[in-house]
Chains A and B, each alone.
Chain A
Amino acid sequence: MTEKKDTQVKKVAIICAKASIEDVYATLVMANGAVMEGMEAKVFFTFFGLDAITKKQMNKLHTATVGNPGMRMPGGLPFPTLLGAIPGVEAGVSAMMRSQMEKLDIPPVDEFLDMITAGGGEIYACKLAMDMFKLEKEDLSDQVSAVITIGDFYAMAGGEGSQIIFT
């Protein structure tokens, strides 16, 4: 018999590469949940995930109404893909989703980032993706600590009880 040894999670390093509401919020809830539990949290936004920390985009994120099999009409009927392709539908559905979240006391993205950093969490932007999308540090939320490489991020992700999560 081997003795079972549990190592508690003490630190999470989370990487977000997508801009949809669900991917960004999964990232933010996990990061905030970690600091709430007294754990360390570091978040790295890359590729389309940069939208979540770009001032102009962060509070206007969308969810996909086309090619999203989880999408349903209110009431539970399937959501026809062709309906999702009509201009304005995606924006409407996304606005509805954001208002539902507000009712559950889930904050908008900018406020969520404030909460995470207030609890000691750290937010980083990917240098490579910034260059690709021609973004400058000034375009990003003030809560972003630094623009770094993935190597820099790995360097701060180590230690006993630390986990790397990709959303």
Chain B
Amino acid sequence: MAQKTIAGVNLEVSEEGYLADPTLWTEEIAKEIAKEENIELTEKHFEVINFIRENAEAGLTIRKIGKSGIVDIKGFYGLFPGGPLKISSKIAGIKKPASCV
């Protein structure tokens, strides 16, 4: 575990930059992490991020997000290019997903 200051808050993060404590997450933190991933967050991004935060406990898959009614799988890849499930989880402040699908 490492310490990192994101959006003015000193936070504990994993080696890959995932927040250790999802309850400390704020939208400002999300925007800052997204910037590091070269993503400018839109309202659509936040809809997906909120869905991810609400369903993090149950375990997430790309398929589940595709069935969320918010975005289809192609759209999800478009919003978070280069590894959508991992990148969106990092921005949403949850742990790194352990899903193979």
Tell me the A residues contacting B by CB distance below 8 Å: 29, 32-33, 35-38, 104-107, 111, 114-115, 118-120
Closest residue of chain B to A114, judged by CB? B73
Looking at the assembled complex, report how far the CB atom of B29 sits from the nearest CB atom of chain A, in whole angstroms: 23
Measured between beta carbons, the chain A residues less than 8 angstroms from B62 are 32, 36, 115, 119
Once the chains bind, are B101 and A119 in contact (CB under 8 Å)? no
- Given A33-B100, A118-B72, A120-B77; 13 other pairs, CB 8 A cutoff: A29-B101, A32-B101, A36-B62, A36-B84, A37-B83, A37-B86, A38-B83, A104-B101, A105-B61, A107-B101, A111-B63, A115-B62, A119-B62
Q: Which of B61, B64, B77, B100 contacts A119 (CB 8 A)?
A: B77
Main secondary structure of the interface of B (DSSP, over half): helix
Between-chain CB contacts (< 8 Å), 14 pairs: A32-B62, A32-B101, A35-B77, A36-B62, A37-B86, A38-B81, A104-B101, A105-B61, A105-B63, A105-B101, A115-B66, A118-B77, A119-B74, A119-B77
Closest residue of chain A to B78, judged by CB? A118
The answer to whether the Cβ of B82 comes within 8 Å of any Cβ in the partner chain is: yes
Closest residue of chain A to B75, judged by CB? A118
Looking at the assembled complex, report how far the CB atom of B12 sits from the nearest CB atom of chain A, in whole angstroms: 25
CA distance A106 to B101 in the complex (A): 7
Once the chains bind, are B74 and A38 in contact (CB under 8 Å)? no
CA distance A37 to B83 in the complex (A): 4
Closest residue of chain A to B81, judged by CB? A38
Assuming the contacts A32-B101, A36-B62, asked whether A118 and B81 have C-beta atoms less than 8 A apart, the reply is no
Q: Which of B63, B77, B81, B84 contacts A107 (CB 8 A)?
A: B63
Contact with A along B58-101 (1 / 0, CB 8 A): 00011110100000111001000111111000000000000011
